[in-house]
Every structure is written in structure tokens, then in C-alpha cells.
Chain A
Amino acid sequence: DSGVTQTPKHLITATGQRVTLRCSPRSGDLSVYWYQQSLDQGLQFLIQYYNGEERAKGNILERFSAQQFPDLHSELNLSSLELGDSALYFCASSPVAGASGNTIYFGEGSWLTVV
């Protein structure tokens, strides 16, 4: 158990809908990361928040948004969903903003299926 909690674990929704994925980081970690893993793809970095502020951004679609709340949990909002958004979405956390990699801990992921 990495200490990173993601909900829901599985989600099935229709095209055009909006969903919210939730992440609770490890206790004491200030950074939260979101990654997307599509079929046959590696993990694609979406966005990082550090202590409530956006810290680094990847190729996150405009239909997607994220935020980190004062209690440090984070939400990833996916709107106007398309079939191609079906993927495994990972949240990860680390104590600091510029983690060296060995202190980044991943949750078990949220499986999103868009039908």
C-alpha cells in the first residue's frame, strides 16, 4: 500500500459526460501528480500541483482540469468525454515539488471506460 488513495477504482460513463476522479496523497506529501495510461501506452504526465498551486503541466487536454484543495487532496475533472478518454488514471504524490523520482508514490489508479 503506497498510501495514495484514489476513488473511484472503476467508472463507466457515456460520451459527452463529465466525471471527477479523486486523490488523497500520502500523509505529509505536498505534491500531487496525475498521469494517464491508455491501452498500449506508457504513463502520460498530465499535471502536478504543489501545496495548492499548479507546478508543472503536461499535454493535458483543455477538456480536463485539476485542482488541489487546502487539505491537499486533488481532483481531476474530465468533461465532454470521448471514447478515446478511456484509460487508467493514476495519481501520485511526493513530499516536495521537484521530487527525484524515488520519492514519488503512485496510487492504484482509476479505470475510466467511456461508452
Chain B
Amino acid sequence: DQQVKQNSPSLSVQEGRISILNCDYTNSMFDYFLWYKKYPAEGPTFLISISSIKDKNEDGRFTVFLNKSAKHLSLHIVPSQPGDSAVYFCAAKPLGYNQGGKLIFGQGTELSVKP
């Protein structure tokens, strides 16, 4: 069974500091890992992704790290801003033609950035 888990339901960080959101997966048959951000009353929006053959991908204040041996990925936000307060979902795209564009999501972590 392919599973993606976010074990921390919430995280509170001071503005300007680093936010680190974590995600674990239990199956190696994924070709992409992604982070989505969700504000209340809106659908999830794509934030950043990383290929399974990479270790790191950076986009502005956002960096995703992939540790394949530990089956772990993390999202770093530096510096954190109050506008980053949202629910962050980790997702993984399974390999295989019959998987289409299917994504497997974690349960989400609610990030609160305090001014």
C-alpha cells in the first residue's frame, strides 16, 4: 500500500524564522514528490516539487529536500512570513502508466506564522 504521512498536524513559527514541514512515505514507487498549500475556502495550490532522482530543489524562499534512504522529505521556508500561514500537504505521484496523474496526499500540517 502506498502511503504518505505527515505526523505533525500543526506547527507554529515566529515571523522571520525557518519553518520545517516533514513528510514520510512508505513505498519507493513514486517519481515525483510535491508540496501543496491550502488556504481556507480555497482548493490546494501547487507550491514546489522534486523528482525522485534529486535530493534538493529550491524556489525562492522554499526548498524541498528528499532523503530516499529514510523515505523522508521536508519543506523549508526561509524566512517565514505571516502570509505563509496555511495548511501544507505533502503529495507523491506513483510510477506507472495506469496511475495517470494520480497523487497520494498526506493529512496536512497547519502552519501558523506569528508576527
Which residues of A are in contact with B by a Cβ distance under 8 Å? Answer: 2, 4, 31, 33, 35, 40-45, 48, 50, 55-56, 58, 90, 92, 94, 96-102, 104-109
List A contacts of B107 (CB < 8 A): 40-42
A97 touches B105 (CB 8 A): no
B42 touches A108 (CB 8 A): yes
A56 touches B100 (CB 8 A): yes
Is B111 in the interface zone, CB < 8 Å from A?
no
How many angstroms between the C-alpha atoms of A35 and B46 in the bound complex? Answer: 15
B38 to A, closest residue via Cβ: A106
| Contacts between chains A and B (CB distance < 8 A), count | 81
List residues 41-90 of chain B with CB under 8 A from any CB of chain A: 41-46, 49, 89
A99 to chain B, nearest CB (A): 4
Chain B: residues with Cβ within 8 Å of the partner, total of 27
List B contacts of A105 (CB < 8 A): 43, 45-46
B49 touches A102 (CB 8 A): yes
- A-B interface, 3 closest residue pairs, ranked by CB to CB distance from nearest: A106-B43, A56-B100, A99-B101
B101 touches A108 (CB 8 A): no
A98 touches B97 (CB 8 A): yes
Is B17 in the interface zone, CB < 8 Å from A?
no
A100 touches B43 (CB 8 A): no
A43 touches B102 (CB 8 A): no
B102 touches A100 (CB 8 A): no
List A contacts of B113 (CB < 8 A): none
A104 touches B100 (CB 8 A): no
A97 to B, closest residue via Cβ: B100
**7 A-B pairs in the complex with CB atoms less than 8 angstroms apart:** A42-B108, A43-B105, A44-B105, A45-B103, A56-B100, A101-B32, A102-B49
Given known contacts A42-B89, A43-B89, A101 and B44 CB-to-CB distance under 8 angstroms:
no
B105 touches A98 (CB 8 A): no
Is B20 in the interface zone, CB < 8 Å from A?
no
How many angstroms between the C-alpha atoms of A75 and B99 in the bound complex? Answer: 21
Interface centre among B34, B101, B105 (most CB of A within 10 A): B101
A104 touches B103 (CB 8 A): yes
List A contacts of B46 (CB < 8 A): 101-102, 104-105
